[in-house]
Chain A
Amino acid sequence: MEAWFALLVGIFFSVAVYLMLSKFIIRMLLGVAVLGNAVNLLIFTGGRLTRDVPPVIPEGADALAAPAANALPQALILTAIVISFSFFAFLLVLSWRAYSDLATDNTDEMRVAEPVDEPVPPLGY
């Protein structure tokens, strides 16, 4: 089970990296969304995948029985989902604003903050 999930996480990461290497902002956004899910799946897999043993600590013991799934990574994922969703929402609005204000969705052409043909700094006094 874990091996299949590891493979899936790998596919997610490669898709995300491929999309984020694009210079078009909408593809980068999709890449960010896939990246967030890749990380969540990774943490999920890290907490063991099993339904055989319920994650309830038996009486007299301090910790879960060894093969039980760890619940904490799932709590971490909940936090990470909320955060990555809000960031995605912000970046989506920002990208729309950038597209309407800068009239391009190509990051190579977004050179307002760092103009291409800058004058050379003064060389003499």
Chain B
Amino acid sequence: MPNRWTSLSRHLDIDRIMAASISPSADLSAALVHAPPTAAAWLVILPVAWCLAIGALLVMLRRPNGLHPTIAILGLAGLALIDGLLLKAVVENGPLTMVMGRWLPPFGIAFTADLTGALFAFTAALVALVAGVFSLTDINDSGRRYGFYPLLMLLMAGVSGAFLTGDIFNLYVWFEVLLISSFGLLVLGSEPEQIDGTVKYGFLNLVGTTLFLIATGYLYAVFGTLNMADIARKADVLRNSAPLVTLAGLFMLAFAMKAAAFPVNFWLSASYHTPRVVVSALFGGLLTKVGVYALVRVMVMLFPVEREELSFFLAVAGALTMIVGVLGALAQTDLRRILGYLIVSGIGVMLAGIAVGGPGGVGGAIFYALHSMLVMTGLYVASGIAMRLGASASIATLAGLYRRHAGFAALTLMLCFAVSGLPPFSGFWPKVMLVKAALDIGAWWLVAVFLLAGFLTTIVTGRLFLLAFWRDGTQAAGGAVSLSPTLLGPLAVLTGLTLLIGLYPEPLLAIIQRAAAGLAEPSAYVNSVFPEGGPR
């Protein structure tokens, strides 16, 4: 049917379009990046690519799987190294950007590492490395067969991607990547408790990420862009004509659900005590903090004016989260359920910090999140060791751990102090920053809640230590368990880091203050994505 073809061809003007796309005179400089990416720019994308590659390698070596732990731990050490180099590069040269497929932003998906993202990514890699070493004694052959290590690497790909991406839809995709890997890790073992916990975790988290997707859809309809730097610079123009407060509120709800803030925190306490101990440790350290990071990124950098308007709700939610979390911890007897509620209480501190705002509030929230990543992982590891030594997970039956293993008891006591915010550990300084920032804006009631929650946390951890460690124990020990270096080493490293940050906080504090300043005034971030101004 030649006639129809010519008419169609004329209608769509195919000849002209094809000629335009082939002809060498077509100007692509408006759409493509020409300069080849620098070596430092590759560091931005390398954490994700590295984790995916190692994960794929592990899947290929599924059987026999004897090499899995070695490869995974080397891979996590490599990830920590890459993230360390990235952090060093960002500290020295400011934010780094790499765009996918050389498309100019905002058309190409951009990965942008600023100080906040690089700090979170580096701490996450450290925590994962330590948890990987602990997994040597916690994951047996059946755990390896079910694919613990590939899922761990995929989880780290999702976490690193979420911290480093500069595109909000891409952030959603990384959320889903880490969510689906966390499902796999959570059911690993298929005990009835795990299935029960995963049902609640799965449904509620899916609703949370769907809320995030709804907000992202509206955001694109309003802004016409998904690039965070582009959104940050366009928000000022659109503020008068678009319902940005509603949009920010939707994002706030979605990320609060991911972060397990009251009243959308119940999935956490239903599931975090059910999987293998190392999985609890990883989740306690990483997952809720991704929600907090996303909240910081969106509320502080993209919608600062809207954060101001919503700050009262955020502050009330944070205060309630602190109190409800710590009261929940007081009501529990199971070690890991206590810790799950303590995570929730810590999330409240970070939310309140974001609500207070300013360099002190946001910096305090970031500092507290980094501290919480280290300390909560450490406490879960300690609970795993205590469960193995005492053959019980309940503080009603655990006893006499101090008499049998004084060194382990000392490390746990330090972590208990750290999570309660007592000096000289890492929890003290962010609390000081937050209390000062809240006093500066006159939010005395929030200060009272900070201090009350800290006091109640001290009671929770004090009771835990009193009953499980100091009480005279006559119960049968769980066999002759020797504390091998792979068991005690991870705990010692995390406690050491907490103590180091507590005693010598200045270097980290300086970086965090710069990170908070970079979020409040994101011109360096925007310049890194649009070096020549870019299309408006």
Enumerate chain A interface residues (CB-CB to B < 8 A).
20, 25, 28, 32, 35-36, 39, 42-43, 46-47, 54, 56, 59, 62, 70, 72-73, 76, 79-80, 83-84, 86-87, 90-91, 94-95, 97-98, 101-102, 107, 110-114, 118-119, 121-122, 125
Contacts and interface: CB of A to CB of B under 8 A. Distances in A.
B196 A112 contact: yes
Closest 3 CB pairs of A and B: A46-B221, A43-B217, A112-B196
B306 interface: no
Interface residues of B, number: 51
B467 A62 contact: no
6 contacts: A32-B207, A56-B17, A72-B220, A84-B210, A91-B202, A112-B193
Contact of B333 (A36, A56, A118): A118
Contact of B207 (A20, A47, A80): A20
B61 to A, nearest CB: 24
Interface in B193-248: 193-200, 202-203, 206-207, 210, 213-214, 216-218, 220-221, 224
Contacts of B1: none
A79 B170 CA distance: 10
Given A112-B192, A114-B270, A121 B202 contact: no
B203 A32 contact: yes
A79 B224 CA distance: 18
B13 to A, nearest CB: 8
The A interface is mostly helix, strand or loop, or mixed, namely helix
Contacts, number: 115
A46 B220 contact: yes
Nearest to B30: A62
A104 B169 CA distance: 37
A94 B198 contact: yes
Interface in B165-203: 169, 173, 176, 179-180, 183, 187, 190, 192-200, 202-203
A36 B210 contact: yes
Central interface residue in A79, A101, A113, by most chain B CB within 10 Å: A113
A68 to B, nearest CB: 13
Nearest to B334: A118
Nearest to B217: A43
Nearest to B17: A56
A59 B274 CA distance: 60
Given A46-B220, A46-B221, A113 B16 contact: no
Central interface residue in B176, B216, B332, B466, by most chain A CB within 10 Å: B176
Nearest to B466: A125
Contacts of B220: 43, 46-47, 72-73, 76
Nearest to A28: B203
Contacts of B224: 70
Interface in B268-309: 269-271, 273-274
Given A56-B17, A59-B20, A62-B30, A91 B206 contact: yes
A5 to B, nearest CB: 13
Given A90-B202, A91-B202, A94-B187, A76 B197 contact: no
B396 interface: yes
Given A39-B214, A42-B217, A121-B331, A102 B192 contact: yes
B210 A39 contact: yes
Contacts of A119: 333, 396
Given A94-B199, A113-B196, A113-B270, A121 B173 contact: no
B12 interface: yes
Contacts of A70: 224
Nearest to B274: A113
B113 interface: no
A87 B217 contact: no
Contacts of B207: 20, 32, 35
